[in-house]
């Protein structure tokens, strides 16, 4: 019984040490999928700030279309983790 408990504890510890998701901005579909996964890496308290950062990437100007803002976000956040996106928005 102790062996099973130790195995379960080891498995749980291994699952908790995963690397953070890196956002892939190479295409709109990849960006959407990896940004959603990166958002899940964050604590609940930071998720709204992450959402705001995606809607307001660095370099955003008044008058840009939604497609232009999305392209700018893909370029700005490509290769970054959710934590790096939050830090860039501060």
Contact 28, 74 (CB under 8 A): yes
Extents of the domains making up the chain: 21-88
- Mean pLDDT, each 10-residue run in order, the chain (90 residues): 48 64 96 96 94 89 91 95 88
pLDDT recorded at residue 9? 47
Contact 85, 77 (CB under 8 A): yes
pLDDT recorded at residue 40? 95
């Amino acid at each position: 019984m102790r062996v099973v408990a130790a195995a379960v504890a080891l498995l749980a510890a291994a699952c908790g040490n995963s690397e953070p998701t890196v956002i892939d901005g190479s295409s709109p579909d990849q960006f959407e999928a990896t940004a959603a996964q990166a958002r899940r890496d964050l604590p609940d308290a930071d998720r709204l700030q992450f959402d705001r950062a995606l809607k307001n990437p660095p370099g955003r100007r008044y008058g840009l279309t939604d497609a232009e803002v999305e392209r700018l976000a893909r370029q700005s956040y490509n290769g970054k983790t959710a934590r790096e996106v939050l830090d860039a928005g501060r």
